[in-house]
Amino acid sequence: MRKIIYFLGVLLLTASCSDLTDLNEDKKNPSEVPAATLFSSAQKGIAEQVINTSVNKNIFRLVNQQWTETTYIDESVYQWTTRNISGNHWDAYFSGTTSGDGSLSDLILAKSFIEKQVILASDPNFTDKTAAKKNQLALIDILIVYSYQILVDTFGDIPYSEALKQAGNYLPKYDKAIDIYKDLIVRLDADIANIDTGYPSFGGADFIYKDNLNLWVKFANSIKLRLGINLKASGLENAIADAAIISASKNVFTSNEDNAKIAYEKNVPNTNPIYVELVFGGRHDFVPAKPFVDALAAKNDPRTGVYFAQNLVDKNKNPLPYKGGIIGVKNSFGNYTHVGDVIQQPDFKGTYLDYAEVEFLLAEAVERGVAVSGSAATHYANAITASMEDWGISENAIDTYLAQPAVAYTTAAGSWKQKIGEQAWYAMYNRGYEGWTFTRRLNFPALLPPPNADAAAEGQIPSRMTYPIREQTLNAVNYNAAAAAIGGDKLKTKLFWDID
């Protein structure tokens, strides 16, 4: 009996020790976050930064004069240092999971976890697992490229080859913007080649395409097209630019069904960031801006009914003309046209890149002499049509709009840059960042800074953001070298592709 009791005691002690060992593992805070979770987090973080309306993070609808402010006007007059806006934009991509919403850090960490995965040759699913692993790494890298392009197109030269090394290098050098562009194109080519559409990737953790890898290939090519157009606009490395544009154009988005968008839910916290700011947060900080409202109204653009609310009425409740807010002054919220209800819906999708943008880029490629199929006029009309269809405009309304002499490509006023630039500005509503990119590259529409623009803007609409103050203090040697290389860390300093 004593032996039996002793034996049971040993078993209990062994079990207890095992349980105590398990307690050393914090299951609520694992040492390694699953790669799929990091991938999902990065997708959400990227979308958050390009979509949100916070004046602390995303002021691109304001600089592009699609919206303006009602009460606090600092951001509309380019006073961007008080809120550390450039630092917040920088951190949205460079900072890691400890800070939240750091897409590049999340993606690179996910990449390192996947690369460490060992698939034994003896595994009966070796082929499937190996293909899925390559697919995952390709998708991760496509989003890394997407994020780096935004950073380059915001600041110019940035840390790249030495970036995100953590303890390996906390003070990275800044690479030349054009060199980063060329490497991003090479990376996309490799990513496209590595995707095997016959195998899965992240499954349901992919919030953009739900593991439809054919659409990921189109997305990668569409990003490459955008890189190629900017590179072509620079007048530098024309052979690389032409090759990128031509190869990409053969498998880019061909309809709105291909659009890279992220879906949101009807209930917080996974709701459309615009809903969170304007509806859930109850903020009345913005109204559509007068230059944008007047331009659309002058062309009888049917998107006005979607972009803007019909909140202004006379004493008999009859609708009054849309009235955009004045740039650079306080605008009483009740006295001006409001932002339309559609983009304020909690489940309104956020856009990374869409078919309308692709068609505008193809129209531009034709005008820049690149050998892509189709005419500039056809791509231009396709772009406008794609935008309007995506906003729910009827076919008859689209046809009527395109038939106007002020809209038709052959009769619309101005150079090809004006025609494409102005229509892209209209279409990039709710995509303020890319609207700003089109405006900078084509110099249309011809926007004017407000008379009270901050002295830092030197009388111009900003062409870039200045580097974060933290970089100036903590990475001073490399910051100073970068500032000198780009011609000064100023709002008016042109990016390498912004030469016209």
Specify burial of residue 63 (Cβ count, 10 A radius: 0-12, 13-18, 19+): buried
d(CA 24, CA 20) in angstroms, rounded, equals: 7
Tokens 């349901």 belong to residue: 204
The predicted-structure confidence for 350-366, as pLDDT tens digits, reads as follows: 999 999 999 999 999 99
Q: Which of the four pLDDT bands, split at 50, 70 and 90, describes residue 160?
A: very high
- Confidence check: pLDDT of 164 > 60: yes
pLDDT at 32: 64
Question: String of b and e for 271-297 (b: at least 16 CB within 10 Å)?
Answer: bbbbbbbbebeebebbbbbbbbbebbb
Q: Where are the alpha helices (DSSP H) in 355-431?
A: 355-367, 376-390, 395-402, 416-427
Distance between CA atoms of 157 and 151, rounded to whole angstroms?
9
| Residues 163, 171 contacting (CB under 8 angstroms) | no
- Contact status, residue 260 vs residue 208, Cβ threshold 8 Å: yes
Position 33 scores a pLDDT of 79
Question: Has residue 419 got a pLDDT over 90?
Answer: yes
Q: What integer pLDDT is reported at residue 268 of this predicted model?
A: 87
What are the two backbone dihedrals, phi and then psi, of residue 159, each rounded to the nearest 5 degrees? -65, 135
Buried b (16+ CB within 10 A) or exposed e, 151-178: bbbbbbbbbbeebbeeeeeeebbbbbbb
CA 8 to chain centre: 63
**CB distance 369 to 163 below 8 Å:** no
CA distance 267 to 134: 35
Question: Tell me, what's the pLDDT at 25?
Answer: 43
Predicted local confidence at residue 167, as pLDDT: 73
Round the average pLDDT of the chain to a whole number and report it: 92
Residue 165 pLDDT class (50, 70, 90 cuts): confident
| Residue 8: predicted pLDDT | 36
What does the alpha-carbon distance between residue 262 and residue 36 come to, in Å, rounded to a whole number?
16
Give the pLDDT band of residue 243 (cuts 50, 70, 90): very high
DSSP string, 284-325: --EEEBHHHHHHHHHTT-TTHHHHB----B-TTSPBPPP-PB
Domain boundaries, the chain: 35-271+348-486
Span 53-61, average pLDDT = 95
DSSP state letter for 167: G
Overall average pLDDT of the 291-318 stretch: 97
Structure confidence at residue 478 as a pLDDT band (50, 70, 90): very high
What are the distances in angstroms from CA 383 to CA 82, 241, 307, 370? 38, 22, 17, 18
Which of 7-16, 45-54, 490-499 has the least mean pLDDT?
Answer: 7-16
In 117-237, alpha helices (H)? 126-155, 177-194, 213-234
Q: What is the mean pLDDT of residues 328-350?
A: 98
* 230 vs 106: CA distance, rounded Å: 27
CB under 8 Å to 60, separation ≥6 — which residues? 432, 433, 435, 436
Mean pLDDT of 139-165: 97
Q: What is the mean pLDDT of residues 274-289?
A: 95
Residue 168 pLDDT grade (very low, low, confident, very high; cuts 50, 70, 90): confident
Say if residue 14's pLDDT is above 70.
no
Mean pLDDT to the nearest integer, 305-331: 97
pLDDT of the residue at 18: 37
**Position 194 pLDDT exceeds 60:** yes
**pLDDT tens digit string along 92-131?**
999 843 344 479 999 999 999 999 999 999 999 999 999 9
- Considering only CA atoms, which of 424, 400, 423 is closest in space to residue 413? 423
Please say whether the beta carbons of 124 and 189 come within 8 A: no
- Backbone phi and psi for residue 408, each to the nearest 5 degrees, phi listed first: -55, 140
Reported as a pLDDT band with limits 50, 70 and 90, residue 26 is very low
Is 56 within 8 Å of 82 (Cβ atoms)? no
198-230, pLDDT tens digit by residue? 999 999 999 999 999 999 999 999 999 999 999
- H or E element, residue 159: strand 158-159
CATH assignment, 35-271+348-486: 1.25.40.390
Backbone dihedral region of 87: left (phi > 0), alpha (psi from -120 to 50 degrees) or beta?
alpha
Is the pLDDT at 19 greater than 50? The verdict is no
Give mean pLDDT, residues 430-459.
97
Query: Is the entire prediction scored with pTM above 0.85?
Result: yes
Helix (H, G, I), strand (E, B) or coil at 174: strand
Q: Mapping DSSP to helix (H, G, I), strand (E, B) and coil, where does residue 268 land?
A: coil
What H or E segment, with its residue span, contains residue 20?
helix 2-23
